[in-house]
Amino acid sequence: MTKYKDLNVPLRTIMTPGPVEVDPRVLRAMTTPILGQFDPAFTNIMNETMDMLRSIFQTENHWAFPVDGTSRSGIEAVLCSIISPGDRVLVPIYGRFGYLLTEICQRYGADVVTIEAPWGEVFDPEVIIKKMHEVSPKIVAIVHAETSTGCMQPLKEIGEACRNADVLLVVDAVASLGGVDLKVDELKLDAVIGGTQKCLSVPSGLAPITYNDRIEKVLSQRKSIELGLRSFNSEPSPNRITSNYFDLAQLQDYWSPVRLNHHTEATSMQYALREGLRIILEEGLENRFARHKLNEQALVAGIKAMGLNLFGDEKHKLPVVTCIEVPNGMDADEVRTMLLEDFEIEIASSFGPLHGKIWRIGTMGYSSRKKNILHVLGALEATLLRKGFKVNKGEGVQAALDVYDDYQKQKNIETVEIGIEA
């Protein structure tokens, strides 16, 4: 009989664009005893989670709850619930995950129109708006933060244009929620999907979503309760949502006082999400965004001082993912392997045309800490030297420390000024 050892995984410094390190308080919350999903003590936790999600999404939407599954499940739940066969969807693609949106829409029978920007760039919003007016879609589905290229798409003008044209705007904010300022209502976003395993610093397994009454109107027209729960006088919609599991019309009843028995909730993950959201609100959104920005600035300063080049349009750089061009002649995967084996640090490669050409370093959530930034810079310098690349020795970490010192000096000045004013 095969004997298995105790589960004892190595301790890594995770600096990928997801998953990221989980706050120890979240891990502790996951050991909380299991409750029944309709126990009032648990439904209260569900209600608190919805309330905190509204704050994180910066929305007044009634509906803000997690879909059980990885972040892709939230994307699929939103899209499959509002797409009827033949509906036209416009998908602007500027990296891997635009292609994912395209494939999901196609699988649910949408007439998908795409436009593409080179990987490493974003769209001028006017290009998207012009195409929207040309093809008259029901939905525009777009990625806010493209982790495959480290770029972030401006949304303000697009949201305004979609609202004026009565087009639904669905946004994949999996990589930005909780790390980048994203005001859902102000930007006029109709549905937004997040992910737990990135800036929220919760294990992968839930997909927080929010949507407004424009989306809910579509859901109400497609609502159909499954047979085993249906009363005798209720009939299914002739245009019911294709998926049962990802049926938002049923899921919102599950999260409402109706408490429709749709599925068995992932209890421990709910504990984790609630604690992760509580920690974010305790830190404060502005403070959290500022922390992510500071650590990005320190990392970028160190990378440049070392003699490496960033990949992509810096004007539209995603603050929580930094992409670095692999030097000519360097084996990208060998560097990643040495970082993992010798320094216990994990960074990422990329996909498709960028595989082996860039490294991606995530500075998200609990992983976005000064200690981690300095650790990865020092380890990357040592690894590159070992592999024969001539870096500017010692300058990477020093440049990062300069950023932190300048920040602290400015903070001290502001504190003194506040004291004088008081």
Q: pLDDT (tens digit, 9 = 90+) per residue, 347-386? A: 999 999 999 999 999 999 999 999 999 999 999 999 999 9
**How many Å separate Cα 393 from the centre of its chain?**
34
The Cα–Cα gap between 43 and 393 comes to: 56
Q: Which two tokens stand for residue 171?
A: 């946004």
In this predicted model, what pLDDT tens digit does every residue of 276-307 receive, in sequence order? 999 999 999 999 999 999 999 999 999 999 99
Q: Across residues 44-50, what is the average pLDDT? A: 98
CATH class in words for 284-421 = alpha beta
The Cα–Cα gap between 167 and 98 comes to: 18
In this structure, which CATH number among 3.20.20.80, 3.40.640.10, 3.20.20.70, 3.40.190.10 belongs to the domain 23-280?
3.40.640.10
Give pLDDT, residue 249. Answer: 96
Give pLDDT, residue 234. Answer: 66
Q: Letter for the amino acid at 292?
A: H
Quick one: what percent of the chain has pLDDT higher than 90?
Answer: 92
Instruction: For residue 224, give the nearest of 257, 193, 251, 259 by alpha carbon.
Output: 251
Q: Letter for the amino acid at 208?
A: P
CA triple 129-135-138, angle to 5 deg: 85
Q: What is the pTM of this model?
A: 0.95
DSSP, res 6? P
Q: Are strands 111-116 and 139-143 parallel, antiparallel or unpaired?
A: unpaired
Give pLDDT, residue 419. Answer: 66
Contacts (Cβ under 8 Å, ≥6 apart) of 47 = none
Count how many Cα atoms sit within 13 Å of the Cα of residue 395 in the half-sphere of its side chain. Answer: 12
Domain boundaries, the chain: 23-280, 284-421
In this predicted model, what pLDDT tens digit does every residue of 154-210 receive, in sequence order? 999 999 999 999 999 999 999 999 999 999 999 999 999 999 999 999 999 999 999
The Cα–Cα gap between 200 and 278 comes to: 10
The Cα–Cα gap between 54 and 37 comes to: 22
**How many Å separate Cα 12 from the centre of its chain?**
21
Count how many Cα atoms sit within 13 Å of the Cα of residue 421 in the half-sphere of its side chain. Answer: 6
Give the H or E element holding residue 92: strand 88-93
The answer to whether residue 394 scores a pLDDT higher than 70 is yes
**Residue that has been written with the tokens 């301790």 in this structure:** 11
The Cα–Cα gap between 144 and 383 comes to: 33
CA triple 204-208-213, angle to 5 deg: 165
Instruction: For residue 204, give the nearest of 61, 16, 7 by alpha carbon.
Output: 16
Cβ neighbours of 95 (radius 10 Å):
28
- Inter-residue contact 142 to 170 (CB < 8 Å): yes
